[in-house]
Every structure is written in C-alpha cells, then in structure tokens.
C-alpha cells in the first residue's frame, strides 16, 4: 500500500441534545492511504456522514458537537489545529463532495466563479490564472465546451453536470484526500455510473486517497480495494473487498450482501432485507449493537459488546461468533 495520509484513532463524536450528549460515533479507527479507494458502507443512520464531517471538524464545537480521539493528517492531529489552520486543510488538503450538488453549489454564482473562489481561498493567483485553471478543471471532469459552461449558473446544468462541477470545485486545489459522501445517490442510474467512473478516473489521475461513502455495497465492489462496514456508530467489519465479498463474517455484512440485486435474480423476486431498522442514538442497545436485528444473537450477544478483532489476512470483525460457531446455532 501507498503512503499513509490519514489516521483516524478512536474517533468519538457526541451531539449536544436537551438530554445531554448522544454518541453518534463511538471509537472509530481506520487509515487512508495515498492513491487508494476506501469504501465505507452501512445503512442510513449508521454514522458514515458523521464520521466524514468529524474528520473535517464541520460540526460547531461550541454549540453542536464534541469530538474525542485523534484525526492525524500526515502525522498532525487536526483536533489540535486552530480554526484558522483548519480552514487551510479543508478544500486544500482534504476535500468533500456531497450527495446534493444543488444545495452545495451557490445558485447566484456562475460555476466558473465557484471554482475560482475555491482557488482564491487557498492560492495567491491572478484572476486570469484562476480562470484558466477553472476551465481546465471543467474539462478535466468531463464537461463539454468548458469555456462556455464557465459562465453558466448551476440551474442551467443537468444533475449529472452539476455533480461534475461540484467535483471540479472539490478538486481545484488538488487535495490529497477526497471524501465522497453518497456522491451519486441523488442521480439517475446511468448518470450514477458515469459519476462513479469519473471519481475512479480522478483517483487514478491525481493519485488521491478517496473515501467513498455509500449505502450501496455493489458500488464498492466495483470501485474499491478496501471496505469498512459501519453499524450504529461503530466499525463492525473491515478488510479487502475481495475477502469481504467472498466470506463476509459479520451477520450485518452478510445481510447487506444478500440485499444486493443479482443479475440472475428473477423479476419481481423480493430481495432479502435485514429485518428492523437502525436504532436512534438514545436507544443504543447493550452488548452487541446489532443483536436486536441479528438472526444468530444469543444472550451473550445481548449483554457483552464484542470487540473488533483480527480474523485472518486483513479482515477484522466485531462478532462473538465470527469463527463460524453461530452456524451451529442457526
Ligand atoms: N447534527 C446532528 N445532531 C444530532 N444527531 C445527528 C446529527 N447528525 C447526525 N445525527 C445522528 O447521528 C447518527 C448517524 O447519522 P449519519 O452519520 O448521518 O448516518 P449515515 O450513515 O446515514 O450518513 C444518526 O442517528 C443521526 O440521526
Ligand atoms: Mg449520510
């Protein structure tokens, strides 16, 4: 693997509520390497977005949230940085693209201006240079006729083109890490595939580390080498994509896998779904957090929290019965 860019160590994020602090992320640790595509998957509400927003310290630390643990970017703990220094990191070293390009782009500025703005924040360059660079970025992300598109407003572009603009804004300063949080969820299926291709192309061309956040394991299978599976604020399984797809060890991962549509599945055939829903933060179960939804849970699972433990090669899993003994019980 390449050089390590980001080390997340025991990250915990708590939100302030009327009834005290609620833990949305609880002791999450992982690394991101240069040039890699790392997938982070889990159902809605599992803490994927909170993890990525916490890395960039996007939640207000006085009003909304408090963080524990460390986020080391090339060895420097981002939680030790001043607000000013943190602004130098965002967009310049670590960039983010979100699901909703329409609300992330500013409706009253042309797309060219928004790319230039991102350059002006971090670089001392002339307007002329910035314009040249912005047009170059529009071309890089596959926007046809970039000189003309430069002068258009977000509403004049299709959803797919807007997402390309958002990627251009995020990549303008050539960040070392791109966090893509459900970057294609709001798009049509054919456009989704094009945007994913673009992200993979940018990952290769610019040699960035990419954190691809998605609820869709199939997307991860096509694009990533490593994957982290999150459930209710914790990592429950991680490893190489080929290993996890070949032999998922956590019942949650197994559930996610069996809900991927298969080519050979018959029309109208219902996909297996994991029963129940992700609990709210004030209803976190004792013991294994997945136990209430797990088809194999025992009394032990309901009382004792399993640790994330090595399970061969690069795979890790948080399950008391990951060695296969739950098969005897089912
Ligand atoms: N600003 C916030 N205040 C309080 N709770 C939040 C906030 N943002 C997210 N949460 C809660 O944190 C949990 C994880 O959310 P999130 O990271 O958005 O999930 P997802 O995996 O779908 O991205 C959810 O229970 C969500 O309701
Ligand atoms: Mg999310």
pLDDT tens digit sequence for 248-277: 999 999 999 987 776 555 555 555 678 999
| Residues within a 6 A CB radius of ligand 1 | 15, 24, 42, 44-50, 280-281
284 contacts: CB under 8 Å, gap ≥ 6: 23, 232, 233
**Ligand with minimal distance to 180 CA:** 2
> pLDDT tens digits for 75-128?
999 999 999 999 999 999 999 998 877 778 999 999 999 999 999 999 999 999
Query: DSSP letters along 208-236, please?
Result: -EEEEEES-HHHHHHH-SEEEEEETTEEE
Q: pLDDT at residue 285 above 80?
A: yes
Helix axes 189-206, 159-171, angle to 10 degrees: 20
Ligand 2 centroid – CA 309 distance (Å): 26
Burial class (CB in 10 A: 0-12, 13-18, 19+), 193: middle
Per-residue confidence (pLDDT) for residue 330, from 0 to 100: 45
Q: What is the mean pLDDT of the chain?
A: 92
Neighbours of ion ligand 2 (CB under 5 A): 49
Q: How confident is the model at residue 188 (pLDDT cuts 50, 70, 90)?
A: confident
Ligand 1 centroid – CA 278 distance (Å): 11
Q: pLDDT at residue 329 above 50?
A: no
Q: pLDDT at residue 326 above 70?
A: no
Residue minimizing CA distance to atom 26 of ligand 1:
45
39 contacts: CB under 8 Å, gap ≥ 6: 212, 213, 214, 219, 220, 223, 224, 226, 227, 228, 241
For residue 44, the ligand 1 atom closest to its alpha carbon is 22
Q: How confident is the model at residue 312 (pLDDT cuts 50, 70, 90)?
A: confident
Per-residue confidence (pLDDT) for residue 296, from 0 to 100: 94
For a pLDDT cut of 90, what percent of the chain falls above it?
83
**Ligand with minimal distance to 21 CA:** 1
For a pLDDT cut of 70, what percent of the chain falls above it?
94
């Amino acid at each position: 693997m390449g050089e390590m860019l980001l080390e997340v160590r025991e990250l915990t994020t708590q939100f302030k509520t009327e009834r005290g602090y609620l833990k949305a992320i609880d002791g999450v640790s992982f690394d991101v390497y240069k040039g890699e595509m790392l997938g982070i998957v889990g159902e809605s509400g599992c803490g994927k977005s909170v993890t990525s927003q916490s890395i960039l310290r996007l939640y207000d630390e006085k009003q909304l949230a408090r963080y524990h643990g460390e986020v080391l970017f090339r060895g420097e703990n981002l939680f030790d940085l001043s607000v000013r220094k943190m602004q130098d990191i965002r967009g310049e070293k670590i960039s983010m693209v979100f699901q909703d390009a329409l609300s992330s782009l500013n409706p009253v500025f042309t797309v060219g201006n928004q790319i230039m703005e991102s350059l002006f924040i971090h670089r001392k360059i002339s307007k002329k240079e910035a314009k040249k660079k912005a047009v170059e970025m529009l071309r890089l992300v596959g926007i046809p006729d970039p000189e003309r598109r430069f002068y258009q407003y977000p509403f004049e572009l299709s959803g797919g083109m807007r997402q390309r603009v958002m990627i251009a804004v995020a990549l303008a300063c050539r960040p070392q890490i791109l966090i893509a949080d459900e970057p294609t969820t709001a798009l049509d299926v054919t456009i989704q595939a094009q945007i994913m291709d673009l992200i993979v192309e940018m990952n290769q061309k610019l040699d960035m580390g990419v954190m691809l956040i998605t609820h869709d394991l199939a997307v991860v299978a096509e694009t990533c080498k490593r994957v982290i599976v999150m459930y209710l604020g914790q990592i429950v399984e991680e490893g190489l994509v080929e290993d996890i797809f070949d032999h998922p060890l956590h019942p949650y991962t197994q559930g996610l896998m069996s809900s991927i549509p298969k080519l050979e599945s018959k029309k109208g055939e219902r996909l297996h779904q994991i029963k129940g829903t992700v609990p709210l933060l004030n209803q976190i179960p004792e013991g294994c957090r997945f136990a209430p939804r797990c088809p194999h849970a025992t009394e032990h699972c309901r009382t004792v929290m399993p640790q994330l433990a090595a399970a061969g090669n690069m795979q890790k899993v948080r399950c008391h019965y990951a060695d296969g003994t739950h098969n005897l019980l089912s």
